[in-house]
Structures are given as C-alpha cells and as structure tokens.
Chains A and B, each alone.
Chain A
Amino acid sequence: MSETAQHAPGTTGGGGPSASRPPGAASMMSLAGRAIMRQREVAVFLVVVLLVIYFGLINSTGRATFFTRLDLVNLAQTAAPIMIIAYGEVLLLICGEIDLSVGFVYAFAPFMMHFFADYWSVPGALAIILAIVVVGGGVGWVNAFLTVTLRLPSFIATLGTGFVLAGIVLTVSHGEQSSISSSVAGVGQYLGTLGFSEIIWAVGLLVVFHVLLRGTRWGLHTIAVGGNLLGAREAGVNVARVKYGNFMITGVLGAFVGIQIAFQTNVIDTFSGGAAYQPMFYAVAAAVIGGTAMLGGTGTMIGAFLGSAVLAILTDGFEVIGVSAYPLEIFFGGAILVAMIANIQFARLRGSGRVK
C-alpha cells in the first residue's frame, strides 16, 4: 500500500515524516515487520514452528516421543475439536457475537444421537445427521432468536442456553454415560474413530470455511455486519439472517465435534461439572490468538487453525516432556494475553498510520 493512500491526492505541502524513509536493510526489516503485523497468521505460524522445534529437540535427546505416530494422533485429536469449533466462533466473533453454549451442544448432540438410534429406531446415518444438523442447528437458532430477535447480548443469551443444555443432558442421562449404538458405529469411524479422521475433517473444514469467509457473499456480509452494523443495514444487508446463520453454523459444528468425540472415546459422556466449557474456551482462545478481534469485523480461519495448533501443541508437548499439567494454563493465559495485546496495539499502530 503506498503512502499516498493516507493523504488526500495533491497533499504536497507538509507531507510529514512518512515522506522520507531510510532505504536498504532497515526498510527490509520494517517490511518484514509490517508483513507480520498485517498478516497475523504469519506471526502465529512462526510460533507454531518454534513450538514444534522446541518440543522436537527435546524429543531428539531421547527423553520423549513428540514425533511418534501415537503422539501425532494424540496431537491431532487434541487440536481438531478446538479447530472445528473455532471456525464457528470466528464467524460469530467477526459479526460481533459469541457463543458460550457450544460446548454444551457438544455434550447434548451425542445423547440425542443415542436417543434417535436406540429409542426411536432412526437408522444409523440418519440419526447422526439429525443429531448434528437438527440438534446443533436448533440450539444455534435458539441462541440467534434470543440474541437477534429478543435482543439479549449474546454473552448472556448463550450463557443461559448453556446452563439449560447442561441441565437437560444431566436429566436425560440421569448423570450416567451411555454407550454408542452399533447401528451408528459404522459411519462413526469416518467421523472420529480412526486416528487421523478428525484432523482430516478439521483441515477439510478449514478450506470450506476459509472460502466461505473470504470468497463468498456470506463471508463479506459477516464482516460488514461486524464492522459497521448500521452501514451494513443501510446497504441492505439482511443483518438478522447473517447472525442467525452464523449461530446455526456454530451450533452444527459444536454438535459435529461432540459426536466425533463420542466415537473417538467410544462413550457418550455427560461432560458435567463445567467440563463442557473447556472446548468453547479453547476455541475462543484459539480464535483470539489467531488474530480475531472481539470487537467484530476482523478475523481469519487460518489464524484460528494455527491458534488451535498452538494450544494443542502446548497441551501435548508438556505432557510428552513430562512437565506437570498444572502450570499449563499459565502458558495458555499468557498466550491469550500476548495475542490480545498484539491485536490491540497493532490496530492502534495501523490507526495512527505508522504501519501499512
């Protein structure tokens, strides 16, 4: 982007400090600096590479097994659920909302699959599809109804629906785990039973959601709604439809991940005692680390993918090198704070015209 963009055409007098810039190596450095600041994915990618090298080096000294197949499977299974939920949260965060209930959808959907398949004799594949699309989409619709139509802040609305869902799960399950019906297990292996099936889904969905966000009207309108709600409305964008859609997408992704986890662990868990919050918090953290602003209007799928990878590598890496899991969340918190500080400070620099 050329410097003139900041000024009115023909602003010759008092061009300011930007008129002269040192050439050579310094400008190369600043160019790289600006690339990192503008493309947050580059910075997060560098963090991923550094983490892999770090844990890989420790591995090569023979103390651990970071690059063994078993651990790559573990890593993939840690990362994939965060990634898939994060895609939904990115869409919501971009259009100025958040979904705190997605982890409870994740707990709820497998139970519904269980009911569809075992009590209501729905054929296997259909039971899975109903649990993902109808249950996940339905919860998303309720969240959107509360947020868009009844105008609750989404933070509060989804906090409420999350609790309600947690209660429903405990009530219908009597607080007990359930086993997976044999009628759905055949399809299930493609969703989560095979070691790398989840990460393959996560990468495939990354492509789908990246294209959705960057290459379609839906993505453009999502950014417009979050960037300038009034402006988007004035341009005729159907703001309610965009928000309803993104809540429903997030619900569907939550249900999808919940069912994957059920197949992976071969049990339908109740995720009681707040355990269902974890995937949601990780997903939001991954989105933020990947450069999605909480203020709406900005965010990327690749950033969320890489942010999820950072969290997963930290989780597995510490486990592999045998460090206690207790301090792990200190690193998580630090990563989130550093990412957020970077977001806000870089945005300020951009705003003052010193970057770009």
Chain B
Amino acid sequence: MTGTPEGTADVSPAPDVLRAEHVSKRYGAVTALTDINVHLGQGEVLGLLGDNGAGKSTFMKILCGFQPPDTGRIELFGETVSFRSPTHARSLGVDTVYQDLALVNQLSVYHNMFLNREKTTGPLLSNRAMRRLARQQLDEMGINIPSVEADVAALSGGQRQAIAIARCVYSNARVLLLDEPLAAMGAKEAAIILDLIRDLKNRGDVSVIIIAHNYGQALEICDRVNLLQHGEITFDKRCRDTSVEELNEIVMAEYRRALAERQRQR
C-alpha cells in the first residue's frame, strides 16, 4: 500500500461509472502497476498522465479488456466486471480509440463508422441508411467532414480521429478510452479533437479517460488529472486546482531523485 495520492479530488459530484480498485500487474520480474485506484465520474473527462514506462499503457490494456489485472477489481456502473476481451468490454459499454486507429483507409467514412455493425436489408448492405445515419451522427457531434462517401485515406489525422470517436459514441459507448488522441497532430488538428471532447463533456452521457503526456493539452480539456509514476498513482487533482508548473515540478522531482540515487550508488 502506498499513501493517499496528493490532492483533494476524491469526491466526485456524480456517481462513478468506472472504478479500478487496488489493481496490480506484473510482467515476470517487472512490476508494471502497483495498487492502482482510479475512479471516473459520470460525464467526467479524466486525464491519465505519465512518462513512458510509467504504466499508462498497461493500465489502458486492463481497462479495455485486452488483459486482466493480477489483483484488484474493476467496477463498472457499480458492478464488478471482468472483461474477457476488448469485444466483451465494448459490449458492456467500454470502448477504446487506439493510437493506431481502427479505421480502414480503403473504406469510406460511413463504412468505417458501421464496420462490423453494418445495416443490411437481407444479404445486402443498406448503404443509403448507413450514409444517412453517419451524416446524422457526425452533424450531431459537430464533426465537419465534407462527404461521408470519401475514403478515410483522404482525410486529415484530426478528422480520422474524430470519426473513430464518433463510431464509438454511435455504438453506445458509455466509457471512452482515448489513447494519445493528440499524438502527432498539429494545433489545428488537435483543436478538432479538443472541441469534440468538450462537446462530449457537455452532453454528459459519455465519460472519457484520455491518455496523454502533454500536460498543457490535458489540463485544457480534462476535468481532473491523475499522474502515474513508476506504476503508482501519485497525483489526483481537479484541473482547476493544478497547473502545468505543478505537474512539471512533480515529474522533475522524480528525475532529481533518480539522479541522486544513481550518484549515491557510484
């Protein structure tokens, strides 16, 4: 057991949709996660920050159903669940937008949005219905795509990410996991996604966990941030109660400790 993380954001205004309690994960001799406690309120946007190797990806893989934790439990809408697979997690309302994007370049926007959930009449695809519903969903979410018939290959990174998110929302995701949604994106592209997440927050029916390592962007869009360091949550604060400087300071302190440790060992 580690101490209570620094911060005061333990009480959420709304009941939690997702709780991870005392989650640990080891890979052989390597401890990836130690006694992680994370909670996500209804309609909340939680930023999960941390350096490379801090355990973000491991935690994400557990939440999306890719692998089970060694110990601890996941609670979804107040009930303990154990995800058998990402498909199982998705069927329970937890959907993930991966960094590598699950879109197929060679297919149109609307076929991508309905991939594996196609509308059909008999054996044939109902392309007209899918086009209409895709258009409707994108308009509703304020996503600006000139034509749903365009191949995804022709779209920008921001638009592609937005479509991947729209697909999850359309398939009734209640909890959305976004893995580095702003990675390798210019400011204008990132703005599309930040705007989209803000809209989701205003709708309030989807709760979001964003994995990020850019503190500025995270504080811009999240309600609350957790900081993962060497497999532990060391920081849990509302964004309005913290700053990029504070987060930087915590991480820099860790570097200084590690450096001092090395020098002592010499």
Contacts and interface: CB of A to CB of B under 8 A. Distances in A.
Q: How would you classify the secondary structure of chain B's contact residues: helix, strand, loop or mixed?
A: loop
Interface of B: 86-87, 90, 96, 98, 100-107, 111, 115-116, 118, 120, 123-125, 144-147, 150, 153-156, 158-159, 188-189, 192
B115 A2 contact: no
A9 B104 contact: no
Interface of A: 1-2, 4-11, 211, 215-217, 220-221, 223-224, 226-228, 230-232, 234-237, 297-298, 350-351, 356
A20 B197 CA distance: 34
22 contacts: A2-B147, A4-B146, A5-B146, A8-B156, A8-B158, A8-B159, A8-B188, A8-B189, A216-B124, A216-B125, A217-B125, A220-B125, A221-B116, A224-B104, A224-B107, A228-B104, A228-B105, A231-B100, A231-B104, A234-B96, A236-B90, A297-B106
B265 to A, nearest CB: 42
A215 B126 CA distance: 8
A232 B98 contact: no
B116 A235 contact: yes
Contact of B102 (A1, A11, A231): A231
A236 to B, nearest CB: 5
A227 B106 contact: yes
B107 A230 contact: no
B120 A217 contact: yes
Contacts of B144: 9
Contacts of A235: 102, 115-116
A226 B107 CA distance: 11
A231 B103 contact: yes
Contact of B100 (A217, A230, A236, A298): A230
A138 to B, nearest CB: 25
B188 A11 contact: yes
Contact of B101 (A7, A9, A231, A232): A231
A223 B107 contact: yes
B150 A5 contact: yes
B238 to A, nearest CB: 31
Which of B105, B116, B189 is most buried by chain A, counting CB atoms within 10 A of its CB? B116
Contact of B105 (A237, A297, A356): A297
A234 B120 contact: no
Given A5-B154, A224-B115, A10 B105 contact: no
A356 B104 contact: no
Nearest to A347: B153
A163 B228 CA distance: 56
Which of B111, B145, B153 is most buried by chain A, counting CB atoms within 10 A of its CB? B153
A6 B145 CA distance: 10
Given A5-B150, A10-B188, A356-B154, A223 B104 contact: yes
Contact of A236 (B104, B107, B116, B147): B116
A230 B102 contact: yes
Nearest to A11: B188
Which of A2, A227, A230 is most buried by chain B, counting CB atoms within 10 A of its CB? A227
Given A6-B156, A231-B100, A234-B102, A216 B146 contact: no
A5 B106 contact: no
B130 to A, nearest CB: 10
Contacts of B86: 234
Contacts of B150: 1, 5
Contacts of A216: 120, 123-125
